[in-house]
Chains A and B, each alone.
Chain A
Amino acid sequence: MSQQKITSQQKITSQQKTTMSPEQAEAFGRELDAIKDRVLADLGEQDADYIRRVIKAQRALEVAGRGLLFAGILPPAWLAGTAMLAVAKILDNMEIGHNIMHGQYDWMGDPATSSREFEWDNACPGDQWRHSHNYMHHTHTNVVGLDRDIGYGILRMSEDQPWRPYFLGNPVYAFLLMVLFQYGVALHEMETERIRAGEITLADKRETLEGIWRKTRRQTLKDYVAFPLLAGPFAPFVFTGNLSANLIRNVWSYMIIFCGHFPDGTQEFTVEETQNETRGMWSFRQILGSANLTGGRLFHLLSGNLSHQIEHHLFPDMPARRYAEVAPAVREVCERYAVPYNAGPLPRQFGTVVRKIVRLALPPRKHDEPKGKPDETNVDRGDVPARIA
């Protein structure tokens, strides 16, 4: 039996090379598990109280924001109402929705914070999200061809995705995805790239489409028909307020999410590299494929603690408020095993993402560094990354 070794190489800027033998990976995984077990044993009232406080704040902001928008003819009321509703939607989407649906609060036994029952305030159906995110994205993180978050089926976010003239529009598609992000996320399970490639038909996705339609229809009726109509003559102010709040949430969550796995220094992987992956190697891949954002406590809250993307990918079902607590310990373990820990402020990290989107819109230049790892054979996967069943 051959030795399994993942050799990883930073592709863009530095030439730092990280190797981890199976034994090291085993020990690495165990140390990280120890960090996780300590926190899990400590979960209790303070965590339950915390999520309830965040929920209470979110609901209050939502009610107040929507209320103010009814007086939206007055500019201060419109501005304040829109801002409050935007923050309410951001909290519901990220610190509350994303985290609860990960099962982070299942231990409470409360149906209101149960991953299987929670539904969030955007167009994406919760059950589809749980499948595509909790299962597919978190298991196959950054594996080109399996992790559909690499590009969402419409963007080129990795050099391992072969270039086509279509991708000249990369920045345009990225911008459109950003402003319409809640719908982009809602359509994620449609696997539109596979429909375009002819691998599956629209009819195969009928149930998925029906689920999306049901959720999106109610959300649209709520924000763009019912609430405006209730305001009578002030309907336009409520309409534009709701539209703006959704837009703000879309843009903010897009920025945070795209900084999770795309800034300079993050790594993608091939399916071959991740065959027979041990748990320690899985942790290793999670860290190499993720990047953190630095900031204060309010920033972490508003980012749903996705600013701690590395910790989140190591411990997806640990209550997110604990990530700041364990980050120093995780960093220390990474240092000892010479694993790079990618962290930076939002402007810089997002700047490198934008640069990547623009750069990948163009065909690769001949004198660019060779793609992939030294011992990887070049496989022409055609226009669409092949799916391994």
Chain B
Amino acid sequence: MFTQTLTKRVLGSNLVDLLTGPHGVDRYTELVAPTWTLAEARAKVVAVRRSTPRSVTLTLEPNAVFTDCNSLEAGQHVNLTLEIDGRRRTRCYSPANAQGASLLELTIGLHDGGLVSTYLRTHARPGMIVGLHGAGGDFVLPAQRPRRMLFVSGGSGITPIMSMLRTLQAERFDGEVAVIHYARSAAEACYSSELAAMPGVHVLNVFTREGGAPGPSGNAGPTGHFDADHLAVAMPVPDAVFVCGPPALVDAVRECCPQARSESFVPAAFVIPAGPSGGRVTFTESGVGVIDDGRSLLEQAENAGLSPENGCRMGICHTCTRRVTSGAVRNLTNGAVSTPDDEDVQICVSVPVGDVKLAL
């Protein structure tokens, strides 16, 4: 413990900063062990489980930087960064472990055509190093736990709810808890056995593609999508409702229970519009917005009164590089269209394709 603090103080000292300049001490310590850094939050994958055909569960060991700066509450989410084919990608996930656990558990559901989920489903293995940052979120249990709580989850929306349930279990919560979990089929329902085994938790599994799971009496349970009947079966009069899943599920629950706390993760629908001009271009850091007139982003920014750094104005020197945070742009020199992820582009040779947000 003492040596740990001493090491940190030495490594963080001005002298070490000078000696390891200009790269910084992390660029040396990470060569010894990839998660040994002073400033970057990282984690090592220590276990990988593929318990359903369309999901992968990762157990992560975060490094000291992460644990020192973040205390995740049950239900909160975190940003995971990993490298796929040389390029960094970032996605947001809710850990499923109980609050305060030393290891993080992420269950990633497979999205059709999803880059990161497909990659992790196929290639995740112990020893992988990932970046972790941006822990936060409002989808949490109230400090004063309500006596009767209903949790509704759809697909991989079960992960923050598992975190909440496990936390309640650890606290020996003695109120009433019910869970309605929507999955496509029994085989795809994550955590179903753990849920069934949780004492004091009434679980209703609804399979949207097969028939309903048998209820406690052995008769077939509800089917299809959420409605007031499902609510009645699970917990007719809850003190608090928590829902996490696709937007349609969240909307349906909020119709019945307007006070429900909710969270929804949807892969961004990335559609390249047919008409390439006339969209709205927003320069987010300057608070300026224009209607796209087909010229390069640099020219449109200058026309709007901004003066972005630039150089050769022909896509060579990278002086004008800025980040596209929303939408797509096309590169004039090679016709390539940018990806759905945040991407750095040379604005002197990029034209908007539809609505675009640029960090400028």
- A-to-B contact residues, CB < 8 Å: 33, 36-37, 40, 43-49, 55-56, 59-60, 63, 102-103, 106-110, 112, 115-116, 119-121, 130-131, 134-136, 138-139, 215, 218-219, 221-222, 226-227, 230, 279, 282, 316-317
Contacts and interface: CB of A to CB of B under 8 A. Distances in A.
A40 B19 CA distance: 37
B314 interface: yes
Contacts of B28: 59, 63
Contacts of A47: 86
Given A103-B318, A115-B318, A317-B316, A44 B86 contact: yes
Contacts, number: 100
Interface string B141-176: 000000000000000000000000000000000000
A40 B358 CA distance: 23
A218 B21 CA distance: 8
B295 interface: no
B85 interface: yes
Interface of B: 15, 18-19, 21-23, 27-28, 31, 83, 85-89, 311-312, 314, 316-319, 321, 333-334, 336, 341, 343-344
14 contacts: A44-B87, A48-B83, A56-B31, A63-B28, A102-B318, A108-B88, A110-B88, A135-B319, A218-B21, A219-B22, A221-B18, A227-B19, A282-B314, A317-B316
B19 A222 contact: yes
A109 B88 contact: yes
Contact of B344 (A60, A106, A120, A121): A106
Given A103-B318, A139-B317, A219-B22, 16 more contacts: A44-B85, A45-B85, A112-B27, A115-B321, A121-B22, A130-B319, A131-B311, A134-B311, A134-B316, A134-B318, A138-B316, A139-B312, A139-B314, A218-B18, A219-B21, A222-B21
A110 B334 contact: no
Nearest to B311: A135
A138 B317 contact: yes
Given A107-B87, A109-B87, A139 B311 contact: yes
B83 A110 contact: yes
Contacts of A45: 85-86
Contacts of A121: 21-23
A119 B318 contact: no
B42 to A, nearest CB: 13
Contacts of B314: 139, 279, 282
Contacts of B86: 43-49, 107-108
Contacts of A119: 22-23
B88 A131 contact: no
A222 B319 contact: no
B120 to A, nearest CB: 16
Closest 8 CB pairs of A and B: A135-B311, A48-B86, A103-B318, A109-B88, A119-B22, A134-B317, A139-B312, A44-B85
A63 B333 CA distance: 42
A43 B84 CA distance: 12
Contacts of A136: 311
B312 A138 contact: yes
A40 B311 contact: no
A318 to B, nearest CB: 11
Contacts of A279: 314
B319 A131 contact: yes
Contacts of A131: 311, 319
A37 B311 contact: no
A108 B312 contact: no
A34 B116 CA distance: 30
B71 to A, nearest CB: 25
A106 B88 CA distance: 11
Contacts of B311: 131, 134-136, 139
Contact of B334 (A33, A219, A282): A33
A37 B343 CA distance: 18
A45 B15 CA distance: 36
A182 B280 CA distance: 47
Contacts of B334: 33, 36-37, 40
A215 B18 CA distance: 11
B38 to A, nearest CB: 14
A374 B292 CA distance: 47
A37 B336 CA distance: 10
Contacts of B27: 55, 59, 112
Nearest to A130: B319
A2 B86 CA distance: 48
Given A48-B83, A107-B87, A226 B22 contact: no
